[in-house]
Chains A and B, each alone.
Chain A
Amino acid sequence: MSDDIILALRNATKLYAGVPAIENVDFELRRGEIHALVGENGAGKSTLTKVMAGVVALTSGTMEVNGVAATPRTPLEARHLGIAMVFQENSLVPTMTVAQNLFLGQEKFYNRLRGIYIAAQQFLQSLNFDVTPTATVGLLGAAKKQMVEIARAVLHEAKVIIFDEPTATLTPEEKKYFFDLVRDLKRRGVSIVFISHALEEALILADRITILRDGRHVVTDDAAKFDRARIVQAMVGRDLSNTLYGIRKNSVRPAGERVLTVQNLKMAPMVRNNSLSVFAGQITGVFGLVGAGRTETFKVVAGVLKRDFFHGGEVILNGRPVRYRVPAPAVRAGIAYVTEDRKVEGFFETMSVARNIYLGLLAKMPGGRFFLSGREADKVGKTWVEKLKVRATGSDIRVVELSGGNQQKVVIAKSLVQDPELIIFDEPTRGVDVGAIVEIHELIQRLADEGKAVVVISSYLPEIMALSDRILVSRQGKVVEEFSALEATEEKIMYAAVH
């Protein structure tokens, strides 16, 4: 093994209940390199990185760190080997301060908070991280949390840091800042492994890219030798470049009836005097940086959140002012909200696909039902599994066992089964593989073609531009600009979102 290689896996195989998550995968990480791991959901990226981080153990194969065989069985053991992992769902304790999180597990018998804060302040400043050590982690934005995670990894003198979807919750500006951080870590000699579904990030940031498909290694090469089409083809084994953000719109759907009008909506501190309209037969894209109040606005519309008690503004659905205190009446009125946080708000993970979808139907029924029909649930579930091409062995499989893309399809099916008139998709393809993204996008387009009023909230500009007929740009709690899809450019949209 060359001195250049800090971490290597040979013939790595991990079986779950006899089913291989990764199979005979070879992987090498060089010193001071940024290495992107790319693949569809279920390709085995997370399993591979979890093996490196000691979260799961290999069934067969070997792992070497600095040329020495190593088998970390816990994250602590991996940390002692200089390997740290920053998880997609961050592992910080939200009720503790930044400093407490940084030194978690390293506390002395007599802990002096002031000492911890001073040490944390000095350390964060040395990394040039603008995070207050006394701030409670739960109140930080996604980017700041990411910084704390990174700082913790560096504090533990990690020589290898693994990022699982680090940019999924970051705004474009925050992403840029994150990229700078990663490059800075590289300059310090730290090796980086990062998983991302945003292929452009891999192309921009990585020195080398490894592509996995169905748990197997497909190719590893210098990032400069890849382009988007080659990556996608290697990931899915087919060419999707023309269907995914590839084609610029040359026509837009005309607006139908005004379905939703939001007038001077207020929900302090996130939504500030926000006004907008949504029309039937169109896809209205809503873009903005995190904190722009997009999600909160539409959660108020859907009855998930409440607007301000005094002078909270007006929501008008089909010409009639409405005020939903809970989601149920909104669902009955024809509003479906597909959440951005599917794992927390989207489904019951231990229930079957069919039961989850059936729950969507029950939500539409006034007063619910006293007797539930298992047969009806199975029938509804089966219908929607086929309709949305959910890749599951059956509609009785638990949702937790599905890949991210298929879980998202279940969440969407749960809403569509209600036959809504207004469908709000909040980050519909976050953490979803490219194959499923295409299918979800086709579904969204189809809904608009059928005359439904569709809202797509997304922080990913290419997605907004590929899907939308009209684009609303949100900033500081209100819509500040509207573009037709034909006139919109990334520069124009970003300018409106930032300035």
Chain B
Amino acid sequence: MIAALRSFTDRLLGRGEATITVPSFDGALKPNQMLEKAQTLGQFDSPEDLATDGHTLYLADGAVIRRFDGAETSELRRFEAPITALCCLPDGGLAVALDGREVRLFATPSAASAAVTFTDPAMNAINALSCTPDGTLIATDGSSARPYRQWVHDLMERGRSGRVLVLDPASGKVRTIASGLAYAFGACAAGDEIFVSESWRHRVIAVDPEGHQRTVIDHLPVYPSRLSSAASGGFWLTAFAARTQLVEFVLRENGYRRRMMAEIDPEYWIAPKLRSGQSFLEPMQGAHIKTMGVVKPWAPPRSYGLVIRLSAGGVPLYGLHSRVDGVNHGAVVAVEMDGALFAVAKGPGRLLRLPLAGIEQELRA
């Protein structure tokens, strides 16, 4: 009764759970155009994930794994289903998640067949794979209700069914170490713990082997996605979209949201997107985002690109942005190799490269 009353007053006054606010991009997340200015290595149909063994970069592009040898990309292998996650194993192997429902381990990237295949029926939307230093394979399953490609449906349904899984190659068994997450999307080992992105709660949490959780960083102004290790310690965290008050408002209005989902083409929902500005039917138009016909970089973002450099403790050090007026939006993965950062901007389908020399000094200043 008291909870119901509180909920009612919160909704009436716009407080508590019903607060429609978003944090600003400031401090370490102060906007710049670094990601927008990054070199474009190639444009692909549906780039999804990156993995590196320290020498070679692997790109998951639809159902194809491409190898990038520094100059150009070549097709390494092709699958029958779209790849949703990719990871290099410490022993030189490769782990691949297919359609979010199956994970295959290959002894080498070019091995003819999978050494181990995980097909646990509970796996539904595997969106990231990561290896701990001891070789344990970690997977994040975004939602048990919606397949990977329907991530926006999960957000609009306020999904809370994300999980962190431990895949044991020896037994072929899958163990859940965290569940009830609001879209787990990315994991990376951090000492004895695993840092996990929880997109719909705009935070990164740490999960220990026993499943205990603690918040590493919260109140992010973005929806965080995959995590990877940085060469000099710490992590790279990507964010595929930025939060807006409009979307926060829609997420609070259940009736409106239900009708929107039932009656409107998902392409035009009031929801974060990986790219925007493609159609006049999009919900945010005109003076919302433009002045004198020019897109305002500071406008409320329907789509956004951001890579955040985190310290070993998870404190943001700086961010690489592609703002509202940019195109390198929908950053879903960033990995570091040979002194450069490689990132996928899923919105325009680009593989990006940013030399890191000098960037850190410039941005941290």
Contacts and interface: CB of A to CB of B under 8 A. Distances in A.
Interface of A: 252, 254-258, 261, 263-264, 275-277, 279, 309-314, 316, 319, 321, 323, 470, 472, 479, 482, 484, 486-487
B19 interface: yes
B21 A277 contact: no
B22 A254 contact: no
B24 A263 contact: yes
Interface string B9-34: 00011111001111110111010000
B21 A314 contact: yes
B56 interface: no
B364 interface: yes
Q: Is the interface of B mostly helix, strand, loop or mixed?
A: loop
Given A261-B219, A309-B13, A276 B365 contact: no
B218 A321 contact: no
B245 interface: yes
A486 B22 CA distance: 28
B32 to A, nearest CB: 11
B22 A263 contact: yes
A482 B14 contact: no
Given A252-B365, A275-B23, A276-B24, A257 B30 contact: no
A264 B21 contact: yes
Interface in B344-365: 364-365
Contacts of B24: 263, 275-277, 479
Interface string B205-245: 00000000001001100000000000000000000000001
B21 A255 contact: no
A257 B28 CA distance: 11
A388 to B, nearest CB: 30
Contacts of A316: 219
B315 interface: yes
B324 to A, nearest CB: 15
Interface in B50-72: none
Given A310-B13, A314-B21, A277 B27 contact: yes
Nearest to A315: B21
B27 A263 contact: no
A118 to B, nearest CB: 43
Nearest to A311: B14
Q: Which residue, of A312, A314, A316, A319, has the highest number of chain B Cβ atoms within 10 A?
A: A314
A254 B23 contact: no
A94 to B, nearest CB: 34
B27 A279 contact: yes
A372 to B, nearest CB: 37
Given A264-B20, A316-B219, A254 B26 contact: no
Contact of B21 (A263, A276, A484): A263
Nearest to A309: B13
Contacts of A309: 13
Given A252-B365, A484-B365, A261 B23 contact: yes
Contacts of A484: 30, 365
Nearest to B24: A275
A408 to B, nearest CB: 29
Interface string B113-128: 0000000000000000
30 contacts: A254-B364, A255-B315, A257-B315, A258-B219, A261-B219, A263-B19, A263-B23, A263-B219, A264-B20, A264-B22, A264-B245, A275-B21, A276-B24, A277-B26, A277-B27, A279-B27, A309-B13, A310-B12, A310-B13, A310-B14, A311-B13, A313-B21, A319-B215, A319-B218, A470-B27, A479-B26, A482-B26, A482-B30, A484-B365, A486-B365
Contacts of A313: 19, 21
Contacts of A314: 19, 21
A488 to B, nearest CB: 11
Contacts of A472: 26
A255 to B, nearest CB: 5
Interface string B28-43: 1010000000000000
A263 B219 CA distance: 10
Q: Which residue, of B16, B24, B245, has the highest number of chain A Cβ atoms within 10 A?
A: B24
B297 to A, nearest CB: 12
Contacts of A275: 21-24, 26
A319 B15 CA distance: 16
Nearest to B19: A314
A279 B29 CA distance: 12
A324 to B, nearest CB: 14
A256 B14 CA distance: 30
Given A275-B23, A479-B26, A484-B30, 16 more contacts: A255-B315, A263-B21, A263-B23, A263-B219, A264-B20, A264-B21, A264-B22, A275-B26, A277-B27, A279-B27, A310-B13, A311-B13, A313-B19, A319-B219, A482-B26, A487-B365
Nearest to A262: B24
A482 B109 CA distance: 46
A2 to B, nearest CB: 58
Contacts of B19: 263, 313-314, 321
Nearest to A314: B21
A313 B18 CA distance: 10
B23 A311 contact: no
B301 to A, nearest CB: 14
B181 to A, nearest CB: 19
Q: Which residue, of B26, B219, B315, has the highest number of chain A Cβ atoms within 10 A?
A: B26
Contacts of B215: 319
A363 to B, nearest CB: 26
Contact of A276 (B15, B26, B245): B26
Nearest to B363: A484
Contacts of A487: 365
A313 B19 CA distance: 7
Nearest to B365: A486
B237 to A, nearest CB: 15
Contacts of B21: 263-264, 275, 313-314
A309 B14 CA distance: 9
Nearest to B29: A277
Given A261-B219, A312-B14, A319-B218, A255 B22 contact: no
B9 to A, nearest CB: 11
Contacts of B13: 309-311
A497 B328 CA distance: 30
